[in-house]
Chains A and B, each alone.
Chain A
Amino acid sequence: MSGELILAFFLVRYFRQSQPDSSPFKKWDKQLLQTMYVIAALGVLDLVVFKNSVLNWVAHFFLLGAIGIAYVLPELRFFRNTVIAVLPFAIVSFLTDVVGLIHTPFFQKIEDYFEIIQICTVAWMIAMLIGVNKQRKALEKERQKREIEEEQNRFIAARRAELETMVAARTSELLTQKEELEHALMELRETQVQLIQKEKMASLGELTAGIAHEIQNPLNFVNNFSEVNKELLDEMEHEVDKGNMAEVKEIMKDIKENEIKISQHGKRADAIVKGMLQHSRLSSGKKEPTDINALADEYLRLSYHGLRAKDKSFNATFKTDFDESIKEIEVIPQDIGRVLLNLINNAFYSVNEKKKAWSQTPNTDRYDPIVYVATKRLDGKVQICVKDNGMGIPQKVLDKIYQPFFTTKPAGQGTGLGLSLSYEILKAHGGELRVETREGEFAQFIMELPFASVDKV
């Protein structure tokens, strides 16, 4: 069998098998297969009819044809190195036969040279094919490496896309949460404002009944005494007519006294209304020079009157001890007024509760409820004490009393914001609030406020 046919067969087979499925060359697949069969058939024929010259030419034709295709078709460019390996052998083999055909004597003369050249071309072919194979393997390795890299890249890209989706989802989730939180925060702020207002109104509400009563009482006196005076004047006129001057003088004295009473009760009503207005007025939020003694006194009276009107059995003594050397201090009067009102209300509440409990248990000694408000000038600050001899604060609730919504009062009676707001107000003033107490005996709230810049003398 001729070497040309074997080479042609393997070349075609190589072309066919080395093509990836995606190659456009695949459309020739069937034809290539047929070509292989033809070459194989020729090879078998060659074995049978040994050294047939026609067959020899056909073999040349197939080998050169295969080489030619590899040069012509761009899809087979990859095989050029293989083709170059085979080419010298094909050409030399072809030329040998051509020369043999044209000029036999000359061929016989140089046949040895041809054989040497042919051996060279075979050697070249083998060396070249080994090289090509090596190169091909290296390329294949490179290709595989690239494929792995690509696979990795694809995986990374997919993972990245996945992560990006997750990040986007998480981001939008977080954004929603942020919005929800902001909304909740806004609602909380609104609620806080409402609660503060409610607390304020609650303490005002507690006072309202008392204030109404405390205004009604002096007004009654004003009306009654002025009516009495009218009667007395009629009577006096009568006595003047009779000339009973001693009686006239007596009546005049009464009228004067009554006038003083009218004025006193008028002023009493006036003071209560002013105090009420100051409490209900929205805080200006501005610090202003404030007479802390007057403020404490006013809220003490407001609280007392309020509770007295609300609870028919309420009774307590209040005492004050004001340091007159404190002139004015810089505070927000409405805010500090609320602190005072809270502390004083609590004090009265406590003594009243103790009194109720006292009356239900057999006691030999009397209990006199006393609420005591005192101010004192200290170094750079003012101390205001609200002390009561009431229930005191049990140790177990002592650390909770400044917590918002903590209350010992029955449900619906306290907002639980009084002390917590008081604490906040004092903090905002750069002051402080502390308590000294013994359960069942007393409670003393001590607030300290800095003088700030103003201490008018």
Chain B
Amino acid sequence: MKILVVDDEQDMQTLFQQRFRKEIKEGLANFAFANSGEAALQYLQQHHHEAVLILSDINMPGMSGLELLQHIKQKYATPPPVVMMITAYGDSENYNTAMQLGADDFLTKPIDFQLLKEKLKIKVNG
């Protein structure tokens, strides 16, 4: 399973790699990272057939996670990639906008990796 993580914090990459250490080693998950919305779109253009799941931060410099979500949902209608939003701001406004734009899930920081792993399993299997 290919997972694209979009976050402007560089250390998120390290964190994901270590948290999914086993899964990466066992080949269950394959991670790609983008540190901005623009970079994420660029990546998708090049590898859109690969991306199965996108995890995106909302509050980023430049293109926000919500803009990215909108772009993805408009551009890649078939098959629609699974987009999960991750944000430090768990306010209802962000949540509603994300849901309206077609987000598949909404998580708040700090990320509960146990919960994330379960959700990912369901997405992949279901």
Enumerate chain A interface residues (CB-CB to B < 8 A). Answer: 213, 216-217, 219-221, 223-225, 227-228, 231-232, 235, 254, 257-258, 261, 265, 308-309, 312-316
> Which A residues are in CB contact (< 8 Å) with B88?
213, 216-217, 220
List chain A residues, Cβ under 8 A from B15.
221, 224-225, 228
User: Does B59 belong to the interface (CB within 8 Å)?
Assistant: yes
Interface size (B, Cβ < 8 Å)?
Answer: 19
* A224 surroundings in chain B (CB, below 8 A): 15, 19, 110-111, 113
B27 at the interface (CB under 8 A from A): no
Please report B residues at the A interface, Cβ cutoff 8 Å. Answer: 9, 11, 14-15, 18-19, 21, 58-59, 61-62, 64, 66, 88-89, 109-111, 113
Q: Given contacts A213-B88, A308-B59, is CB(A258)–CB(B109) below 8 Å?
A: no
Minimum CB–CB distance for B117 against chain A, Å? 12
What CA separation (Å) do A232 and B22 show in the bound complex?
A: 11
Give the distance to chain A from B123, nearest Cβ to Cβ, in Å: 22
A224-B110, A224-B111 known; A315+B18 contact, CB < 8 A: no
**What is the chain B residue whose CB lies nearest that of A224?**
B15
Identify whether the interface residues of A are mostly helix, strand, loop, or mixed.
Answer: helix
Residue of A nearest to B109 (CB): A220
Instruction: List 25 A–B pairs whose Cβ atoms lie within 8 Å, in order of A's numbering.
Output: A213-B59, A216-B88, A216-B109, A217-B9, A217-B88, A219-B110, A220-B88, A220-B109, A220-B111, A223-B110, A224-B111, A224-B113, A227-B113, A231-B19, A232-B18, A254-B18, A257-B14, A258-B18, A261-B11, A308-B61, A309-B59, A312-B58, A312-B64, A312-B66, A315-B62
The 7 A-B residue pairs with the shortest CB-CB distance in the complex, in nearest-first order: A315-B61, A220-B110, A228-B18, A315-B62, A312-B64, A224-B15, A220-B109
A235 cross-chain contacts in B, Cβ below 8 A: 21
Instruction: Tell me, in angstroms, the Cα distance from A219 to B59 when the chains sit together.
Output: 17
C-alpha gap A416/B88 in the complex (Å): 32
B46 to chain A, nearest CB (A): 21
Task: Give bound CA distance, A220 to B9, whole Å.
Answer: 11
The minimal Cβ–Cβ distance linking B93 to chain A, given in whole angstroms, is 10
Q: Which A residue sits closest to B61, measured CB to CB?
A: A315
> Measured between alpha carbons, how far is A48 from B64 in the docked complex, in Å?
147
Residue of A213, A221, A316 touching B11 (CB-CB under 8 A):
A221
Which residues does chain B contribute within 8 Å of A225, judged by CB atoms? 15
Contact residues in B for A314 (Cβ distance below 8 Å):
61
Residues of A within 8 A of B89 (CB): 213
Using CB atoms, name the residue of chain B closest to A309: B59
Q: How far is the CB of A211 from chain B (nearest CB, A)?
A: 13
17 extra interface residue pairs, beta carbon distance < 8 Å, beyond A217-B109, A232-B18: A213-B89, A220-B110, A220-B111, A221-B15, A223-B110, A224-B15, A224-B110, A224-B111, A224-B113, A225-B15, A227-B113, A228-B15, A228-B18, A308-B61, A309-B59, A313-B64, A315-B61
A residues in contact with B111, CB < 8 Å: 220, 224
Residues of the A chain whose Cβ atoms lie less than 8 Å from the Cβ of B14? 257-258, 261
A220 to B113 Cα, complex, angstroms: 12
Of all chain A residues, which has the CB nearest B18? Answer: A228
Give Cα A217–Cα B88 distance, bound, in whole angstroms.
8
Query: When chains A and B are docked, how far (Å) is the Cα of A396 from the Cα of B110?
Result: 49
